[in-house]
Each structure stands twice: as C-alpha cells, then as structure tokens.
Amino acid sequence: MKTHTLLMPLDMHLHLRDGIMLENIAPLSAYSFSGALVMPNLVPPVTTKQNIIAYKKRILASVANDYFEVYMTLFYQNYSKEFLEDVEDEILAVKLYPAGITTNSKEGVKSFDIEAMRPTLEAMSELNIPLCVHGESHGFVMDRETEFMSIYEQLAENFPNLKIIMEHITTKEAVQMLERYENLYATITLHHLLLTLDDVVGGKMQPHLFCKPIAKRPQDREALLQVALNAHPKVMFGSDSAPHPQHEKESSGCAAGIFTAPIAIQMLCELFDKFDALENLQDFISDNAQRIYGICPEFKEVRLSNTPFTIPKIYNTVVPMYANETIGWSIDDIS
C-alpha cells in the first residue's frame, strides 16, 4: 500500500453559494481542506464590507465542527481607495468577472477601460490586494480565454505591482503568459487537468462535466498538466467547484459548473501518482498559495492511501464529477 500526506491543503477558488446549498456543501470542503478562497458571485454580488462580514459569518456557521480558514473575496467594481482600505482586513483578494460571462456575473465589468479602472487597481497595488480574474471574452466559446490574453497583458503592464491571478486557466496560451509577466499567476482546477471538450460533448453529452471556461483541446490539457505536475511556482490549485442541484444540471438549459470539492484531494493524489509526481502535490495544493498570497493556515494533516474509493452518486442534491466511479486513492484520516 502506498500512502501520502498533505499539509494544509488549500482550495484557492471555491464557490460555496448561500442558504441551504451553503449549509450542505461547505462542510465537505471544510472536512478535507485547510482553507479556501471563496468566490463572491452571489445574487446580489458581495460588494460591501457588511456583506463580506455577514457572508463569512454564514460560512463559518455552516462549518462549525471543522477547522477551516475562510478567505473572502470582494466582487470587483470600481472602488475608492478609502473603501478598499476599509475592507482590506476582511478580504484576501478582489475577484473580477466580465459582465455576464458565467453564473451570477451580470454585475461584472462591462468594458475593460484601463483608465476607468486605474484608480481602483492602483489602490489595490498600493494596498497589496491581489486581483483574481475570470479571463474570458464574449467571443466563440473555444476562443474566449485566448482572446482575453491581450487584457491580461494590459493589466500586467499597466499595474506591475498588482498581483494578478488568472483563474481556472484552460489553455496553453494562458500557461505561456506565466513566463511573460512577473506579476501574473494562475489557478488550475482538477477538472481541467482531466478533461477535454471530448469528455463533455465528444461522446454522449455530459452535463456534470460542463463548466466555464469549457474544457479545451488535448494540447491545452497537456500544457496545464505540465505546470501542475511540476508544481510551477506561480501555479496554485483552485477547484472552481461549483454546485448546482441535480435538476438544474440534468435539464434543458444546464447550468455551468462541476462539483469536485469532496473528491478533489483524492483525485489529485491519484493523478499526481499516475504521473509519478506525488512529491510535487504539496506545492501545488498548498505551499505555492501560501507564498503567493502570504497566508499561514493553521496546521492540518491529511493522510491518504491508494485504497479504492467509490465516489458517491450524489451529495445531498448535487451530483459530483465522476459520480459512482471508483478511483484509486482515498483519505484515511485527518488531524
């Protein structure tokens, strides 16, 4: 039997939703992860200090029995420096969505007018608040991320002291950007390390593998795997785990989002083991994020072994990725 231990695993891109869904799913992340960066795309989005504090309180209440560090994000809009100074202790980052690009993003940025954004982004640079970006254009679905590269370039060049995190990257073009600008970082999901568009619509259509940005070509997945498996120092794990009730997924007009939170650590172990890269998983799933964000989560140790684990068919109302399939690694215990 092979075993592996991870310390303080972090999920640097997580959707916890609100209300009953929050109560159902937050404990699943809190069980195995040490902490998570929580996305602000509620309805309405999280744009005030009061809302940040209240949302964090609801999250903590839902995970009362587990130690879990909740890192909050503010939904990007143009904000004054005074406002950012007032909220900076409550947040770890600001999350930017192009308007209408994904679930609950209609209050996002309508046009990337750098000058209009300059006061906010300069204030963030001065206050050392990272900017997390959902980087997609409104173009053809397979081109959206690559079309957004010019905006990453503008942001990186205009705000050299701003830490910019390209969230849930899916293309080789985004991977290449990591080398071009010192201040660009990235999160990568579990599912984009595993899937291509073939898995989504190449055989039968798989609503539980449908997400935004959509999974791309084999060459793109290969580029993502290279930097993840080698624990590129600018790359962090962010699950983008995004739950929807089963009836919203298996319907005409299926919502975007793949639910991986409760299985991500086990599947990452399996994946890294398969490529003989288990020793790099600690950097990918925790140490890089600690260094990039300057965070020190409390001690948590997750011990895994290559014992088969059958993924549940459903967690409450939410069908996970690879439901009912058996994977090779499982969590033995956590302390």
Closest contact distance (angstroms) between CB of 221 and its own copies is 11
**Do the beta carbons of residue 302 and residue 6 sit within 8 Å?**
yes
Closest contact distance (angstroms) between CB of 131 and its own copies is 26
Q: Name which of 9, 5, 11 is nearest 189 in CA terms.
A: 11
- Residue 70 phi/psi, 5-degree rounding, is -105, 105
- Rounded distance, CA 184 to CA 181, Å? 6
In the 8-state DSSP scheme, what is residue 312?
P
Reading the block at residue 106, the tokens are 């209609």
Q: Which is nearer to its own copies, 272 or 322 (CB)?
A: 322
Q: Which of 240, 276, 332, 333 is catalytic?
A: 240
Q: Which is nearer to its own copies, 256 or 277 (CB)?
A: 256
Strands (E) across 134-192 are located at: 164-166, 184-188
Q: Which is nearer to its own copies, 74 or 215 (CB)?
A: 215
Q: Which is nearer to its own copies, 255 or 277 (CB)?
A: 255
**Do the beta carbons of residue 329 and residue 266 sit within 8 Å?**
yes
Q: Measured in whole angstroms, how far is the alpha carbon of residue 91 from the centre of its chain?
A: 16
> Using CB under 8 A as the criterion, which residues of the chain lie in contact with its own copies when the complex forms?
140-142, 196-198, 200-202, 204-208, 210, 214, 217-218, 249-256, 319, 323
| Whether 240 is catalytic | yes
- Residue 123 phi/psi, 5-degree rounding, is -60, -40
- Rounded distance, CA 40 to CA 56, Å? 11
Closest contact distance (angstroms) between CB of 248 and its own copies is 9
Closest contact distance (angstroms) between CB of 164 and its own copies is 25
Closest contact distance (angstroms) between CB of 259 and its own copies is 12
CA distances from 32 to 26, 28, 174, 265, 322 (A): 11, 7, 29, 8, 18
Q: Name which of 37, 43, 53 is nearest 17 in CA terms.
A: 43
Q: Which is nearer to its own copies, 101 or 121 (CB)?
A: 101
**Do the beta carbons of residue 223 and residue 49 sit within 8 Å?**
no
Closest contact distance (angstroms) between CB of 147 and its own copies is 13
With a CB cutoff of 8 Å and minimum separation 6, the contacts of 54 are none
Q: Which is nearer to its own copies, 198 or 298 (CB)?
A: 198
Active site residues: 240
